Amino acid sequence: QQALARMAGARRFVWNWALAECQAHYQETGKSLPWAELSRRLTTLKQQPDRRWLNQVDAQALQQVLADLRRAYRNFFAKRAGLPRFKSRKRDRGRFRIPQRVRVADRRVYIPKVGSVRIRQSQLVKETTKSATFKQDAAGNWDVALVTEFDMPNTPLPAASPAAVVGVDLGLHDFAVVSDGERVPVPRFFRQAERELRRAQRVLSRRGKQSRRRLRAKRKVALVHRRIAHQRADFLHKLTTGLVKKYEGIAIEDLSVRGLAKTKLGKSVTDASFGEFRRQLEYKTIWHRKHLAVIDRFFPSSKMCHGCGAENQALTLADRSWRCSCGTVHDRDLNAALNIRSEGWKVLAAGYAESINARGPGVRLPQWGAVGVETRIPRL
């Protein structure tokens, strides 16, 4: 922990030093400081007697700080982010990135200048590691995110059928209602932990500032949030993995999660984490060579009768069941899942055809084929 904290402290020091150098050069000349010159100044800085402690940190980790600062300035000039700011020791959490030479084997990660550290490995890493990002959470625990690059195999598209496609309707009464009749209740992890969280935050508010007791109380609050996040992630990973392995195609709705979070049910919507559910389905269907169809958010899945196709314009959110003019009694969520399944099959069927097209090659879904997954560096 001391070695990792030393790496994080060196990153924060180099960031603040490099940002000060860039600002001073701009005030003097009115131009940006070239990054090659900034790198040479960093090498000179490490040779100063009072800065020799920087040699105890991996050199590539310090160079990566300059790369992060350069990207921050590019995002600022592209109007994607604000102006880079100095990092505070009290507010900034420990973090650093090493672009190379990080290896994982036997549930251990080798870190240059630190050594081999035991980890709780979530999955096997068979590919070559491109970079590693180390972050410390509010509870004081360290996490490492490994970035690898791989190509998807160019296997034939599986022969899908309507029976292999399933529709999933998300909601707050039942988290997911599957078109085959399965219902997944809403876990409400945050709601269940609100009482414990309220007590921990009340203790934190009574502690004096700049005291050790306040740090301990702050860590207890962070532990409650950490447990809630882990429970939610475990629930979503098990649910999405089960759906992807069981069905060839999955159809979901394009929900406006940001808009739903601004309503009076915002706390329940964010606790359910619909956006994370979709994000996991998107990459897991690619990994397992499965289909994912996203239905338009304005598609009347709940108001349309699955039998005759008539729409019930008088349906409200309080109606859990309704009777169609054709005589069919619908469960609101199950009927929506069936309509999503039918619409999803149409979307998937339009992506490929049984016969070849005019030019000869078969028509395929655009997400299939040999897919090169671009390396994505996690945000620090």
Does 92 qualify as catalytic in the annotation?
no
- Extract the tokens encoding 341: 């399944």
Does 333 qualify as catalytic in the annotation?
yes
- In the set 68, 253, 271, 343, the catalytic residue is 253
End-to-end alpha carbon distance in the chain: 18
DSSP-assigned beta bridge partners for residue 144 = 134
Does 21 qualify as catalytic in the annotation?
no
Q: Helices 2-29 & 59-77, crossing angle to 10 degrees?
A: 50
Residue with the two structure tokens 């207890």? 220
Strand ordering across the sheet containing 95-98: 95-98, 129-136, 142-148
Where would I find the beta strands (DSSP E) of 187-341? Answer: 249-253, 291-295, 321-323, 329-331
- Extract the tokens encoding 61: 């980790």
Contact 274, 234 (CB under 8 A): no
Contact 16, 10 (CB under 8 A): no
Contact 97, 380 (CB under 8 A): yes
- In the set 169, 248, 271, 343, the catalytic residue is 169
- In the set 58, 271, 333, 343, the catalytic residue is 333
Q: ∠ CA 19-20-22 to the nearest 5 degrees?
A: 65
What span, in angstroms and rounded, lies between the C-alpha atoms of 218 and 208? 12
What span, in angstroms and rounded, lies between the C-alpha atoms of 316 and 7? 56
What span, in angstroms and rounded, lies between the C-alpha atoms of 269 and 47? 54
Annotated catalytic residues are 169, 253, 333
